[in-house]
Amino acid sequence: MSIYADFRKDLEYIEKELERSVDSSSPIIRQAALHLLRAGGKRIRPIFVILASKFGHYALEDVAKVAVSLELVHMASLVHDDVIDDSDMRRGFETVKAKWDNRIAMYTGDFIFSRALSSIGEIEIPAVHQLLAETMLEICKGEIIQIEHQRKTDQTVRDYLRRIKRKTALLLSSSCELGALGATANPSIVRKLRRFGYFAGMSFQIVDDILDIISTDEELGKPAGSDLLNGHLTLPILFIKDDAEFRPFMEHSFAGTLSESTRDEMLLYIRNSGAIQKAQAVSDLYLRKALGEIKTLPDGDAKRALTQIVAFISKRNY
């Protein structure tokens, strides 16, 4: 993503702080945390923190504390997700639970969560801590709802949107809001950035769910269609879940009896059904709302970068 080049030095500093933050006196926990960290990621949460901070008083050390905290919250949730979904691969690497076991994975996730709180603890702004606590609570609620919705075919598009709000959008919204709060930006700008992060986050997750279907196993670093195989009904699936031709695919996915050849047939059916285009239209709607918020922000490099991020989200293939 070209936007990263403009802030590469700041991101490199944050990456070093991330590595330092997951150091532990326990060799196993340290190895597991570093294994997850070095598997990489888009680092969009730190980018949002950096850009939002540019609308206030930018100080890299403070920005890094917020950015590290939010990326650690995201990382910890991934470790726990992989245990819940019994996933062996993420981004082309073994998951922590696959390389070690469920117990080590849960302890590693808990450790990373605690480090997230420690990182942001030096920011002496009560509103920052309150917002992070509320965000973590909502993420946990989202995980519980996702478990409750697993393999349930009576859920609606509204159910899905509420779920991804907690699963993804709130953390991106909070990345923008916390970055701006930590930089003591004008309250009206903080509100605009919060709304931008929410709209961008909703689109980001919908695109993620589309890519799970249209990408190859190699591009994803895991089997295409993993969401459905794990019992999660994403937006494209909700558009076709009642199709008589599709229901057998869904039932076999839930039962764990889907062969490789049938998985290929299922993915082809979804891709040709029009569901991808419908889901993309919803994603684009959220992106238009995100752009609407950007237009009201003060002009400058950060504003241009946020606009580039919206373009990246709409066209990304990873």
Q: Which residues pair with 94 in a beta bridge?
A: 89
Q: Closest by alpha carbon to 62, among 125, 141, 106, 148?
A: 125
pLDDT at site 54 = 97
Q: Say which residue the tokens 């009896």 belong to.
A: 257
CA gap 278, 78 in Å, rounded: 28
Q: Closest by alpha carbon to 132, among 66, 198, 76?
A: 66
CA gap 155, 149 in Å, rounded: 7
What are the distances in angstroms from CA 83 to CA 144, 164, 222, 318? Answer: 13, 19, 15, 23
pLDDT single digits (tens) 234-278: 999 999 999 999 999 999 999 999 999 999 999 999 999 999 999
pLDDT at site 2 = 63
106 and 77 Cβ atoms separated by less than 8 Å = no
| Low-confidence residues in the chain, pLDDT < 70 | 1-3
CATH classification number, 2-315, choose in 1.10.600.10, 1.10.40.60, 1.10.486.10, 3.40.830.10: 1.10.600.10
pLDDT at site 3 = 67
Whole-prediction pTM value? 0.95
pLDDT at site 162 = 96
Delimit the domains of the chain by residue range: 2-315
pLDDT at site 75 = 96
